[in-house]
Amino acid sequence: MKLTFFLNGREVTCDISPEMTLLTVLKELLHVNSVKRACLQGECGACTVIVDGDAMNSCLILAATVGGKHVETLESLGDSQHMHPLQKAFLDTGAFQCGFCTPGFIMSAKALLDKNPHPTEEEIRYGLSGNLCRCTGYVKPLEAVKAYVAAQSDIKVNEDAVQAVKAAAEQMGGAH
Amino acid sequence: MIRKGRGIAGCLYSLTVPNAPNPCTANVLMREDGSVNIQMGIVDIGQGAQTAMCMMAAEFFTIPVEKVRIYTADTHATPYDFGTLSSRLTFVGGRALLNACQQVMDVLKSAAAMQLHTLPERLYCEGGFLKDKYDPAKMLPIQAAAAISQFVCRKMPMGQGEYYPFNVPADENGCGEPSVSYYYHASVADVEVDDETGVVTVKEIWSAVDCGKAINPSAVVGQCDGGTLQGIGWALGEDMYPYCTHNDGPAPEFDPDFRPRNLSDYPLPTTMDAPEIHSMFVESHDGEGPYGAKAAGEICANTAAPAIVNAIHDAVGVWITELPATPDKVLRAIREKQEKEGA
């Protein structure tokens, strides 16, 4: 059967059989490398992708159900030359050891932060609880997300400052 | 009632495979643009051995780490290595690598000495340059030395290094020197035990490793974090048993497959279970290791579980002698103790 959906903003069409999961389609038909095949039971979160804004285990979704939907994988964020700030935060914190779980972690974090840009510690922990990691003890991935949230808040403050400066400049201009 | 306790545990670990010859070999080549290629048989299963090797080679030639490339774990193209075990890669692999690098450096120095009209013994490497100790005017970029030795001296700047760690096999009394060096780890755990339900919660845990010189400090802390949480998982939930569990029917027979088979039956700690982990490393200098480094990976999973069991004893006064310390075992031990005290 024909399946058409949006992968990282681009419309793709592929020929699938009805029992294929989204993971199989992404990995074997579309050659998306960041999605990892691990437990195939929805336990580990290594295959996490974002479907219409929600982080989901692609190993549990039948591909036929994503017709017309928007699917995001790690490739949508950026590559080594143009990194998304979230990827940069993971890299700067050193939030991986073997790196197998990292794409899943970043996609879960992105889904969380898209919905809630300023999560608390507890919300971050809950948001990442679907991803298993054996190497990092979750210390540095949590640190990375916290660092990203803090950096984004800093940018907000700076924008406010820019607005204030602009307003002041306008006032001065008006005085002239 | 919630009872608090604190426990401590420590251990030592051998750096090389005890009582076995476990050599490592390395091929190193410097190209004429100053970049370095390394071929080694080591297998990086995620512990960061490749990064550590690249960092050591970059340190040796005083070049940026981006200019070092490593090819590993291909029997078609890489030389022999004993394997990823017994915490040996940074130590044994690093020594083999530095031996190979030294041979490359000897070739580079003789080429540079010819070009600079000096002696190879007077040259040293700093900031990507070969410099004369006694004449600051005489210096040559390391890539120029590589190009000169390759195209003018007709000698490739390449080296083959090997390292056999020393050990004395145990005699009939069990006396010997199993490993050339050892490294150490210790944990302190703060736990809370509910003596009505038997539930054990780790509130905070401190974990410190003596890794020699930390080649990649961020990765050392990461290994320490991960090993500690792994130890907590073993202490409190993760269990494996080689028997089939039948709810009905005949008594369980031996099953060569381990149970549980799936992650759904095997309670790995998630972000919601992870306590506050404080990891740190204590640097020391090992005379034998590359740049004084020892190791950092395997040992970190060892002391969390005994520290937690000690903390449970501190909290409620019972010894858990079989892991994992699940609520049923803890509660049974508490009940037995209460009965004994009542009687």
Nearest CA of chain A to the CA of B276: how many Å? 8
DSSP A142: H
Give the pLDDT of residue A26: 95
Largest CA distance in chain B: 93
Note whether B262 contacts A41, CB cutoff 8 Å.
yes
Q: In which band, very low, low, confident or very high, does the pLDDT at B178 lie, cut at 50, 70 and 90?
A: confident
Q: Which residues of B touch A134 (CB under 8 A)?
A: 226, 230, 268
pLDDT of residue B313: 96
User: What is the structure's pLDDT at B258?
Assistant: 65
Strand order in the sheet with B36-40: B68-72, B36-40, B24-30, B158-163
Q: Which residue of B has its CA nearest to A137?
A: B226
Query: Burial letters for B285-307: b for 16+ Cβ neighbours within 10 Å, e otherwise?
Result: ebebbbbbbbbbbbbbbbbbbbb
pLDDT of residue B243 exceeding 60, the answer is no
Side-by-side strand order, sheet with B200-212: B2-14, B182-194, B200-212, B276-283
pLDDT given for residue A156 in this prediction? 63
Side-chain half-sphere of A1: how many Cα atoms within 13 Å? 11
pLDDT-derived band of residue B257, with 50, 70 and 90 as boundaries? low
Per residue in A37-61, pLDDT tens? 998 999 999 999 999 999 999 999 9
Question: How far apart (Å, rounded) are the C-alpha atoms in residues A47 and A40?
Answer: 9
CA-based nearest residue to B80, from B138, B147, B25, B159 = B25
Please report which confidence band the pLDDT of residue B334 belongs to, taking 50, 70 and 90 as the band edges. Answer: very high
| DSSP for residue A81 | S
| Whether the Cβ atoms of residue B229 and residue B277 lie closer than 8 Å to each other | yes
Task: Closest CB to A137: pick one of B226, B262, B263.
Answer: B226
pLDDT at A104 over 70: yes
ipTM metric: 0.85
User: Is the per-residue pLDDT at A155 higher than 90?
Assistant: no
The pLDDT value given to residue A154: 75
List, in order of start, the domains of chain A with CATH numbers: 1-76 (3.10.20.30), 78-176 (1.10.150.120)
By C-alpha distance, which of A4, A6, A24, A27 is closest to A15? A4
Mean pLDDT for B130-144 is 93
**What is the C-alpha end-to-end distance of chain A, expressed in Å?**
70
**Right CATH number for B24-161 from 3.30.70.3290, 3.40.50.300, 1.10.10.10, 3.30.365.10?**
3.30.365.10
Burial of B206 per CB tally in 10 Å (0-12, 13-18, 19+): middle
- Sequence-ordered list of residues with C-beta below 8 angstroms from that of B147, at least 6 positions apart, any chain: B32
Nearest-by-CA chain B residue for A124? B271
Q: What is the pLDDT of residue B125?
A: 94
User: What residues does each domain of chain B span?
Assistant: 2-14+179-342, 24-161
Give counts: helices (H), strands (E), chain B. Answer: 6, 13
For residue A86, what pLDDT is reported?
94
The pLDDT value given to residue B249: 52
Contact B272 A125 (CB under 8 A): yes
Flag whether pLDDT at B253 surpasses 60.
no
Tell me what percent of the residues of chain A surpass a pLDDT of 70: 95
- Domain made up of B2-14+179-342: CATH architecture: 2-Layer Sandwich (3.30)
pLDDT at B136 over 70: yes
For chain B, positions 269-308, list CB contacts with chain A under 8 A.
270-272, 274, 277, 279
Rounded Cα–Cα distance for residues B109 and B100 (Å): 14
Q: What is the mean pLDDT of residues A21-44?
A: 93
**Candidates B264, B270, B277; nearest CB to A41:** B264
What is the per-residue pLDDT across A116-149, written as a single tens digit (0 to 9) for each?
999 999 999 999 999 999 999 999 999 999 999 9
Chain B contact for A99, CB < 8 A? yes
Range of weakest confidence among A138-152, B54-68, B249-263, B278-292: B249-263
pLDDT at B225 over 60: yes
- Residues of B annotated as catalytic (active site), given as ranges: 298
- How far apart, in whole angstroms, are the C-alpha atoms of residue B56 and residue B291? 8
From residue B59, give the alpha-carbon distance in Å to each of A115, B10, B16, B126, B136. Answer: 45, 32, 24, 10, 22
Do B2-14+179-342 and B24-161 share a fold?
A: yes
Average pLDDT over residues B225-249: 79
User: What count of CB pairs under 8 Å joins A to B?
Assistant: 76
* Of A92 and A166, more confident: A92
Fill in the DSSP letter of residue B117. Answer: T
Over residues A8-34, mean pLDDT: 94
User: How many CB atoms lie under 10 A from the CB of residue A30?
Assistant: 14
Residue B279 with chain A: CB contacts under 8 Å: 137, 139
Predicted confidence (pLDDT) per residue in B77-127, tens digit: 899 999 898 889 999 999 999 999 999 999 999 999 999 999 999 999 999
Chosen from A90, A123, A136 to mutate, greatest number of chain B CBs within 10 A:
A136
Cis, bond preceding B260 (omega within 30 deg of 0) = yes
Distance from CA of B51 to the nearest CA of A (A): 11
Query: DSSP letters along B238-302, please?
Result: ---EEE---SSSSPPPEEEEEE--SGGGS----TTT--EEEEEEEE---SSSGGGB---SGGGGT
pLDDT at A158: 66
Q: What is the pLDDT of residue A25?
A: 95
The 10 Å CB-count burial string (b at 16+, else e) for B124-150 is: ebeeebbbbeeeeebbbebbbbbbbbb
The residue among B15 and A109 whose pLDDT is bigger is: A109
| Strands A2-7 vs A70-72: parallel, antiparallel or unpaired | parallel
